[in-house]
Amino acid sequence: MDIVERFLKYVSFDTQSAEDAGKTPSTDKQLKLAEYLADELTRLGLTEVELDANGYVYATLPANTDQPVPTIGFIAHMDTSPDCSGCNVRPRIVEAYDGGDIVLDARQGIVTSPQKFPELLDHVGEDIIVTDGHTLLGADDKAGIAEIVDAMEYLLQHPELKHGKVRVGFNPDEEIGLGAHKFDVAKFGCEWAYTMDGGELGELEYENFNAASAKVEVRGVSVHPGYAKGKMVNAARIAAEFAAQLPTHETPEQTQDYEGFFHLLGLEGNVEHASLTYIIRDHDRARFEQRKVFMQRAVEWFNVKYGEGTLQLALNDQYYNMREKIEPVPHVVDLAVEAMRACGIPPKVRAIRGGTDGAQLSFMGLPCPNIFAGGLNFHGPHEFLPVPSLRKAAALVVKIVELTARRAGN
Protein backbone atom coordinates (compact mmCIF):
# COMPACT_ATOMS: atom_id res chain seq x y z
CA MET A 1 0.00 0.00 0.00
CA ASP A 2 1.33 3.44 -0.90
CA ILE A 3 1.95 5.70 2.07
CA VAL A 4 -0.56 8.30 0.89
CA GLU A 5 -3.27 5.65 0.58
CA ARG A 6 -2.31 4.38 4.02
CA PHE A 7 -2.56 7.85 5.56
CA LEU A 8 -5.94 8.50 3.93
CA LYS A 9 -7.20 5.21 5.34
CA TYR A 10 -6.12 6.16 8.86
CA VAL A 11 -7.81 9.58 8.77
CA SER A 12 -11.11 7.89 7.89
CA PHE A 13 -11.20 6.76 11.54
CA ASP A 14 -12.62 9.29 14.00
CA THR A 15 -10.26 9.04 16.96
CA GLN A 16 -10.89 12.30 18.82
CA SER A 17 -9.97 11.98 22.50
CA ALA A 18 -11.95 13.60 25.33
CA GLU A 19 -10.97 15.46 28.48
CA ASP A 20 -12.14 14.18 31.88
CA ALA A 21 -13.49 10.87 30.55
CA GLY A 22 -11.95 8.94 33.43
CA LYS A 23 -10.96 5.93 31.34
CA THR A 24 -8.28 4.74 28.90
CA PRO A 25 -8.71 5.20 26.04
CA SER A 26 -10.81 8.25 26.75
CA THR A 27 -13.08 7.45 23.79
CA ASP A 28 -14.04 3.98 22.60
CA LYS A 29 -13.74 5.03 18.96
CA GLN A 30 -9.95 5.13 19.29
CA LEU A 31 -10.06 1.35 19.64
CA LYS A 32 -11.35 1.01 16.08
CA LEU A 33 -8.10 2.35 14.67
CA ALA A 34 -6.09 0.39 17.24
CA GLU A 35 -7.74 -2.85 16.10
CA TYR A 36 -7.13 -1.98 12.46
CA LEU A 37 -3.45 -1.25 13.12
CA ALA A 38 -2.93 -4.46 15.06
CA ASP A 39 -4.41 -6.42 12.15
CA GLU A 40 -2.34 -4.50 9.61
CA LEU A 41 0.93 -5.02 11.47
CA THR A 42 0.19 -8.73 11.72
CA ARG A 43 -0.56 -8.94 7.99
CA LEU A 44 2.69 -7.15 7.16
CA GLY A 45 4.68 -9.75 9.10
CA LEU A 46 5.65 -7.97 12.29
CA THR A 47 5.83 -10.14 15.39
CA GLU A 48 4.73 -9.76 19.03
CA VAL A 49 1.76 -7.71 17.88
CA GLU A 50 -0.36 -6.79 20.88
CA LEU A 51 -3.38 -4.61 21.50
CA ASP A 52 -3.65 -4.26 25.27
CA ALA A 53 -6.70 -3.52 27.39
CA ASN A 54 -5.95 0.23 27.41
CA GLY A 55 -5.82 0.57 23.64
CA TYR A 56 -2.03 0.59 23.22
CA VAL A 57 -0.63 -1.24 20.20
CA TYR A 58 2.85 -2.78 20.32
CA ALA A 59 4.74 -4.75 17.67
CA THR A 60 8.24 -5.92 16.78
CA LEU A 61 10.34 -5.89 13.64
CA PRO A 62 12.76 -8.76 14.41
CA ALA A 63 16.48 -8.25 13.92
CA ASN A 64 17.93 -9.69 10.72
CA THR A 65 21.53 -9.66 11.86
CA ASP A 66 23.43 -11.65 14.47
CA GLN A 67 25.56 -8.72 15.56
CA PRO A 68 24.47 -6.97 18.79
CA VAL A 69 22.45 -3.86 17.95
CA PRO A 70 20.57 -1.64 20.42
CA THR A 71 16.81 -2.13 20.36
CA ILE A 72 15.18 1.14 19.37
CA GLY A 73 11.55 2.17 18.99
CA PHE A 74 9.24 4.46 17.06
CA ILE A 75 6.04 5.82 18.60
CA ALA A 76 3.02 7.77 17.35
CA HIS A 77 -0.39 8.55 18.80
CA MET A 78 -3.75 7.52 17.41
CA ASP A 79 -6.01 10.21 18.84
CA THR A 80 -6.82 13.61 17.39
CA SER A 81 -7.40 16.84 19.27
CA PRO A 82 -10.63 17.62 21.16
CA ASP A 83 -10.24 21.17 19.80
CA CYS A 84 -11.75 20.35 16.40
CA SER A 85 -13.91 17.59 14.97
CA GLY A 86 -12.20 14.57 13.45
CA CYS A 87 -15.45 12.97 12.30
CA ASN A 88 -16.08 12.39 8.60
CA VAL A 89 -12.74 13.85 7.51
CA ARG A 90 -12.85 14.55 3.78
CA PRO A 91 -9.27 15.03 2.62
CA ARG A 92 -8.32 16.31 -0.82
CA ILE A 93 -4.98 16.30 -2.61
CA VAL A 94 -3.98 19.62 -4.16
CA GLU A 95 -1.59 18.58 -6.91
CA ALA A 96 1.50 20.71 -7.57
CA TYR A 97 0.39 23.55 -5.29
CA ASP A 98 0.77 26.84 -7.17
CA GLY A 99 1.32 29.20 -4.23
CA GLY A 100 -2.15 30.74 -4.24
CA ASP A 101 -5.23 30.44 -2.07
CA ILE A 102 -6.62 26.95 -1.50
CA VAL A 103 -10.41 26.99 -1.47
CA LEU A 104 -11.60 24.38 1.02
CA ASP A 105 -15.32 25.15 0.80
CA ALA A 106 -16.34 27.62 -1.89
CA ARG A 107 -19.95 27.75 -0.71
CA GLN A 108 -19.03 28.88 2.79
CA GLY A 109 -15.97 30.87 1.77
CA ILE A 110 -13.48 28.76 3.72
CA VAL A 111 -10.03 29.40 2.28
CA THR A 112 -6.51 28.50 3.33
CA SER A 113 -4.40 31.43 2.20
CA PRO A 114 -0.61 31.91 2.23
CA GLN A 115 -1.29 35.42 3.52
CA LYS A 116 -2.49 33.92 6.78
CA PHE A 117 -0.44 30.70 6.58
CA PRO A 118 2.86 31.71 4.90
CA GLU A 119 4.35 28.26 5.54
CA LEU A 120 2.35 27.13 2.50
CA LEU A 121 4.87 28.92 0.31
CA ASP A 122 7.59 26.51 1.42
CA HIS A 123 5.70 23.80 -0.45
CA VAL A 124 5.01 25.36 -3.83
CA GLY A 125 5.11 22.69 -6.52
CA GLU A 126 4.37 19.89 -4.06
CA ASP A 127 1.24 17.79 -3.70
CA ILE A 128 -0.53 18.85 -0.50
CA ILE A 129 -3.28 17.05 1.40
CA VAL A 130 -5.90 19.43 2.81
CA THR A 131 -9.31 19.21 4.49
CA ASP A 132 -12.73 20.36 3.28
CA GLY A 133 -12.65 23.15 5.86
CA HIS A 134 -14.98 21.52 8.38
CA THR A 135 -12.70 19.15 10.32
CA LEU A 136 -9.07 18.81 11.16
CA LEU A 137 -7.05 16.53 8.88
CA GLY A 138 -5.45 14.26 11.46
CA ALA A 139 -1.84 14.43 10.30
CA ASP A 140 -1.23 14.94 14.02
CA ASP A 141 -0.46 12.12 14.37
CA LYS A 142 -1.77 9.74 11.74
CA ALA A 143 1.02 10.94 9.47
CA GLY A 144 3.43 9.63 12.11
CA ILE A 145 1.66 6.27 12.20
CA ALA A 146 1.70 6.00 8.40
CA GLU A 147 5.42 6.82 8.29
CA ILE A 148 6.32 4.20 10.88
CA VAL A 149 4.18 1.46 9.32
CA ASP A 150 5.48 2.30 5.84
CA ALA A 151 9.08 2.11 7.08
CA MET A 152 8.48 -1.25 8.75
CA GLU A 153 6.96 -2.62 5.54
CA TYR A 154 9.95 -1.35 3.55
CA LEU A 155 12.44 -2.98 5.91
CA LEU A 156 10.56 -6.28 5.73
CA GLN A 157 10.67 -6.11 1.93
CA HIS A 158 14.40 -5.26 1.88
CA PRO A 159 16.23 -7.82 4.03
CA GLU A 160 19.52 -6.68 2.50
CA LEU A 161 19.30 -3.70 4.90
CA LYS A 162 20.66 -5.18 8.12
CA HIS A 163 19.13 -3.97 11.34
CA GLY A 164 18.57 -4.83 14.95
CA LYS A 165 15.27 -5.35 16.72
CA VAL A 166 12.86 -2.46 16.27
CA ARG A 167 9.80 -1.87 18.40
CA VAL A 168 6.69 0.02 17.32
CA GLY A 169 4.17 1.61 19.69
CA PHE A 170 0.89 3.40 18.97
CA ASN A 171 -0.97 4.96 21.88
CA PRO A 172 -4.25 6.73 22.62
CA ASP A 173 -4.90 10.04 24.38
CA GLU A 174 -1.75 12.05 23.64
CA GLU A 175 -3.82 15.13 22.89
CA ILE A 176 -5.19 15.20 26.44
CA GLY A 177 -1.76 14.65 28.01
CA LEU A 178 -2.32 10.99 28.93
CA GLY A 179 -0.66 9.16 26.06
CA ALA A 180 2.30 7.93 28.06
CA HIS A 181 0.54 7.30 31.37
CA LYS A 182 -0.14 3.62 30.67
CA PHE A 183 2.62 3.03 28.13
CA ASP A 184 4.49 -0.08 29.22
CA VAL A 185 8.11 1.07 28.96
CA ALA A 186 9.49 -2.17 30.42
CA LYS A 187 7.60 -4.31 27.94
CA PHE A 188 8.56 -1.99 25.10
CA GLY A 189 12.14 -2.89 25.93
CA CYS A 190 14.06 -0.21 24.03
CA GLU A 191 17.28 1.61 24.83
CA TRP A 192 15.79 4.71 23.26
CA ALA A 193 12.95 5.69 20.94
CA TYR A 194 11.59 8.51 18.79
CA THR A 195 8.09 9.94 18.62
CA MET A 196 7.12 10.82 15.04
CA ASP A 197 4.92 13.69 16.13
CA GLY A 198 6.55 16.93 15.02
CA GLY A 199 5.55 19.38 12.34
CA GLU A 200 7.57 20.84 9.49
CA LEU A 201 10.11 18.82 7.50
CA GLY A 202 13.42 18.56 9.36
CA GLU A 203 12.15 19.31 12.86
CA LEU A 204 14.01 17.51 15.64
CA GLU A 205 13.07 18.38 19.17
CA TYR A 206 14.40 17.36 22.54
CA GLU A 207 13.25 20.39 24.52
CA ASN A 208 9.63 21.00 25.42
CA PHE A 209 7.51 22.97 27.84
CA ASN A 210 7.14 22.12 31.48
CA ALA A 211 3.38 21.86 31.77
CA ALA A 212 0.62 22.08 34.35
CA SER A 213 -3.15 22.31 34.29
CA ALA A 214 -5.09 24.65 36.54
CA LYS A 215 -8.81 24.76 37.26
CA VAL A 216 -10.30 27.61 39.28
CA GLU A 217 -13.76 27.05 40.72
CA VAL A 218 -15.70 30.13 41.84
CA ARG A 219 -18.54 29.77 44.34
CA GLY A 220 -21.14 32.53 44.28
CA VAL A 221 -24.34 33.44 46.06
CA SER A 222 -27.46 34.03 43.99
CA VAL A 223 -29.96 36.65 45.19
CA HIS A 224 -32.72 38.50 43.35
CA PRO A 225 -30.85 41.36 41.63
CA GLY A 226 -33.35 43.90 42.89
CA TYR A 227 -32.41 43.10 46.48
CA ALA A 228 -28.81 41.95 46.02
CA LYS A 229 -26.81 44.72 47.65
CA GLY A 230 -24.42 43.29 50.20
CA LYS A 231 -25.71 39.79 49.59
CA MET A 232 -25.01 38.65 46.04
CA VAL A 233 -21.65 37.13 45.12
CA ASN A 234 -21.61 36.94 41.31
CA ALA A 235 -19.38 33.99 40.42
CA ALA A 236 -19.43 34.73 36.67
CA ARG A 237 -18.28 38.32 37.19
CA ILE A 238 -15.54 37.26 39.61
CA ALA A 239 -14.34 34.67 37.10
CA ALA A 240 -14.10 37.34 34.40
CA GLU A 241 -12.23 39.62 36.82
CA PHE A 242 -9.82 36.81 37.68
CA ALA A 243 -9.08 36.15 34.02
CA ALA A 244 -8.40 39.83 33.46
CA GLN A 245 -5.89 39.94 36.34
CA LEU A 246 -3.48 37.44 34.78
CA PRO A 247 -0.70 38.93 32.62
CA THR A 248 -2.26 39.80 29.26
CA HIS A 249 1.13 39.74 27.50
CA GLU A 250 1.89 36.19 28.69
CA THR A 251 -0.64 34.32 26.57
CA PRO A 252 -0.07 32.02 23.57
CA GLU A 253 -1.02 34.74 21.09
CA GLN A 254 1.57 37.11 22.60
CA THR A 255 4.55 34.75 23.03
CA GLN A 256 7.06 32.78 20.97
CA ASP A 257 10.29 30.75 21.15
CA TYR A 258 11.20 30.17 24.82
CA GLU A 259 8.54 32.49 26.26
CA GLY A 260 6.05 30.80 28.57
CA PHE A 261 2.40 31.60 29.11
CA PHE A 262 -0.90 31.20 30.92
CA HIS A 263 -3.56 29.94 28.51
CA LEU A 264 -7.26 30.26 29.33
CA LEU A 265 -8.85 27.21 27.73
CA GLY A 266 -12.38 27.85 28.91
CA LEU A 267 -14.59 30.03 31.09
CA GLU A 268 -18.16 29.18 31.94
CA GLY A 269 -20.62 29.88 34.68
CA ASN A 270 -23.47 31.86 36.16
CA VAL A 271 -24.12 33.79 39.36
CA GLU A 272 -23.88 30.75 41.63
CA HIS A 273 -20.94 28.97 40.06
CA ALA A 274 -18.21 29.60 37.52
CA SER A 275 -15.05 27.84 36.44
CA LEU A 276 -11.90 28.75 34.56
CA THR A 277 -9.61 26.16 32.98
CA TYR A 278 -5.98 27.01 32.26
CA ILE A 279 -2.80 25.43 31.08
CA ILE A 280 0.53 26.81 32.32
CA ARG A 281 3.67 26.44 30.19
CA ASP A 282 7.35 27.38 30.40
CA HIS A 283 10.58 25.81 29.14
CA ASP A 284 12.52 27.00 32.18
CA ARG A 285 11.73 24.88 35.25
CA ALA A 286 12.27 27.73 37.72
CA ARG A 287 9.98 30.10 35.80
CA PHE A 288 7.45 27.28 35.50
CA GLU A 289 7.37 26.93 39.28
CA GLN A 290 7.03 30.71 39.62
CA ARG A 291 4.00 30.67 37.31
CA LYS A 292 2.29 28.09 39.50
CA VAL A 293 3.01 30.16 42.59
CA PHE A 294 1.61 33.23 40.83
CA MET A 295 -1.64 31.36 40.11
CA GLN A 296 -1.87 30.20 43.74
CA ARG A 297 -1.31 33.71 45.07
CA ALA A 298 -3.89 35.16 42.68
CA VAL A 299 -6.47 32.75 44.10
CA GLU A 300 -5.46 33.64 47.65
CA TRP A 301 -5.77 37.36 46.90
CA PHE A 302 -9.28 36.91 45.47
CA ASN A 303 -10.28 34.91 48.54
CA VAL A 304 -9.15 37.81 50.71
CA LYS A 305 -11.23 40.20 48.60
CA TYR A 306 -14.38 38.09 48.28
CA GLY A 307 -14.21 35.77 51.27
CA GLU A 308 -12.32 32.62 52.12
CA GLY A 309 -13.42 29.66 50.03
CA THR A 310 -14.92 31.72 47.21
CA LEU A 311 -12.21 30.46 44.87
CA GLN A 312 -10.72 26.98 44.88
CA LEU A 313 -7.71 25.94 42.79
CA ALA A 314 -6.82 22.49 41.46
CA LEU A 315 -3.27 22.61 40.10
CA ASN A 316 -1.63 19.54 38.55
CA ASP A 317 1.70 19.03 36.81
CA GLN A 318 1.36 17.29 33.42
CA TYR A 319 4.90 16.82 32.09
CA TYR A 320 8.39 18.30 32.24
CA ASN A 321 11.09 19.41 29.82
CA MET A 322 12.75 16.27 28.43
CA ARG A 323 16.04 18.12 27.82
CA GLU A 324 17.42 17.09 31.22
CA LYS A 325 16.90 13.42 30.28
CA ILE A 326 18.15 13.64 26.68
CA GLU A 327 21.35 15.64 27.22
CA PRO A 328 23.07 12.74 29.09
CA VAL A 329 22.56 10.52 25.99
CA PRO A 330 23.58 12.82 23.10
CA HIS A 331 24.05 9.94 20.66
CA VAL A 332 20.25 9.63 20.46
CA VAL A 333 20.00 13.10 18.92
CA ASP A 334 23.26 12.82 16.96
CA LEU A 335 21.98 9.68 15.24
CA ALA A 336 18.78 11.41 14.10
CA VAL A 337 20.76 14.40 12.81
CA GLU A 338 23.11 12.10 10.87
CA ALA A 339 20.16 10.22 9.39
CA MET A 340 18.48 13.46 8.30
CA ARG A 341 21.62 14.64 6.53
CA ALA A 342 21.98 11.26 4.84
CA CYS A 343 18.42 11.66 3.55
CA GLY A 344 19.07 15.19 2.30
CA ILE A 345 16.91 16.76 5.00
CA PRO A 346 18.33 19.90 6.66
CA PRO A 347 17.92 19.35 10.43
CA LYS A 348 15.98 21.98 12.33
CA VAL A 349 16.77 21.38 15.98
CA ARG A 350 14.39 23.48 18.03
CA ALA A 351 12.38 23.56 21.22
CA ILE A 352 8.75 22.42 21.13
CA ARG A 353 6.19 24.99 22.15
CA GLY A 354 4.12 22.13 23.46
CA GLY A 355 4.74 18.62 24.63
CA THR A 356 4.85 15.10 23.30
CA ASP A 357 4.50 11.66 24.77
CA GLY A 358 8.28 11.52 24.46
CA ALA A 359 8.62 14.06 27.27
CA GLN A 360 6.81 11.82 29.74
CA LEU A 361 8.46 8.68 28.38
CA SER A 362 11.90 10.24 28.86
CA PHE A 363 11.11 10.70 32.56
CA MET A 364 9.88 7.09 32.65
CA GLY A 365 13.32 5.85 31.59
CA LEU A 366 12.95 5.84 27.80
CA PRO A 367 14.89 8.72 26.16
CA CYS A 368 12.57 9.82 23.39
CA PRO A 369 13.19 12.90 21.20
CA ASN A 370 10.55 14.05 18.75
CA ILE A 371 10.90 13.97 14.95
CA PHE A 372 8.82 15.72 12.30
CA ALA A 373 5.76 14.00 10.87
CA GLY A 374 5.36 16.69 8.21
CA GLY A 375 1.96 18.24 8.85
CA LEU A 376 1.26 21.88 9.64
CA ASN A 377 -1.51 23.98 11.25
CA PHE A 378 -2.58 21.15 13.52
CA HIS A 379 -5.86 21.05 15.48
CA GLY A 380 -7.97 22.93 12.96
CA PRO A 381 -9.54 22.91 9.50
CA HIS A 382 -6.55 24.62 7.89
CA GLU A 383 -4.27 21.69 8.71
CA PHE A 384 -2.34 20.39 5.70
CA LEU A 385 0.25 17.74 4.91
CA PRO A 386 2.81 18.03 2.09
CA VAL A 387 3.15 14.59 0.49
CA PRO A 388 6.96 14.83 0.02
CA SER A 389 7.35 15.45 3.78
CA LEU A 390 5.29 12.34 4.49
CA ARG A 391 7.52 10.24 2.24
CA LYS A 392 10.77 11.72 3.56
CA ALA A 393 9.76 11.04 7.17
CA ALA A 394 9.20 7.36 6.32
CA ALA A 395 12.60 7.22 4.60
CA LEU A 396 14.15 8.83 7.69
CA VAL A 397 12.79 6.07 9.94
CA VAL A 398 14.44 3.50 7.66
CA LYS A 399 17.73 5.41 7.72
CA ILE A 400 17.75 5.68 11.53
CA VAL A 401 17.24 1.92 11.80
CA GLU A 402 20.00 1.31 9.25
CA LEU A 403 22.48 3.68 10.92
CA THR A 404 21.82 2.20 14.37
CA ALA A 405 23.01 -1.17 13.08
CA ARG A 406 25.93 0.35 11.20
CA ARG A 407 27.13 2.26 14.27
CA ALA A 408 26.85 -0.89 16.39
CA GLY A 409 28.95 -2.76 13.83
CA ASN A 410 31.65 -0.13 13.98
DSSP state of 231: T
What is the fold of 3-208+321-409?
Aminopeptidase (3.40.630)
- Percent of the chain at pLDDT exceeding 70: 100
How many residues are given for the chain?
410
210-319: CATH architecture: 2-Layer Sandwich (3.30)
Q: Is 212 helix (H, G, I), strand (E, B) or coil?
A: strand
Average the pLDDT over 98-115 and give the result: 96
**Burial of 160 by CB count in 10 Å (0-12 exposed, 13-18 middle, 19+ buried)?**
exposed
SS3 (DSSP) at 346: coil
**What confidence score (pLDDT) does residue 20 get?**
84
Check: CB of residue 381 under 8 Å from CB of residue 136: yes
Query: What average pLDDT does the structure give for the chain?
Result: 96
**Residue 41: its pLDDT value, please?**
98
How crowded is residue 270: how many other Cβ atoms within 10 Å of its Cβ? 12
Q: What confidence tens digit (pLDDT) does each residue in 283-340 have?
A: 999 999 999 999 999 999 999 999 999 999 999 998 899 999 999 999 999 999 999 9
pLDDT (average), residues 2-21:
96
Q: Are 255 and 313 in contact (CB under 8 A)?
A: no
pLDDT exceeds 80 at position 410: no
Decide: 353 and 209 in contact? Cβ < 8 Å. yes
pLDDT in tens, 217-264: 999 999 999 999 999 999 999 999 999 999 999 999 999 999 999 999
Which residues are catalytically annotated? 79, 174
What are 76's strand-pairing partners? 170
| pLDDT tier at 48, thresholds 50, 70, 90 | very high
Residue 17: phi, psi to the nearest 5?
-85, 170
The answer to whether residues 191 and 74 touch, using CB atoms and an 8 Å cutoff, is no
Name which of 16-25, 42-51, 90-99 the model is least confident about: 16-25
Confidence of residue 354 (pLDDT cuts 50, 70, 90): confident
Spans of all domains in the chain: 3-208+321-409, 210-319
Q: Is the pLDDT of residue 177 over 90?
A: no
Going by pLDDT thresholds of 50, 70 and 90, the confidence category of residue 156 is: very high
pLDDT band per the 50, 70, 90 thresholds, residue 94: very high
| Residue 225 confidence (pLDDT) | 94
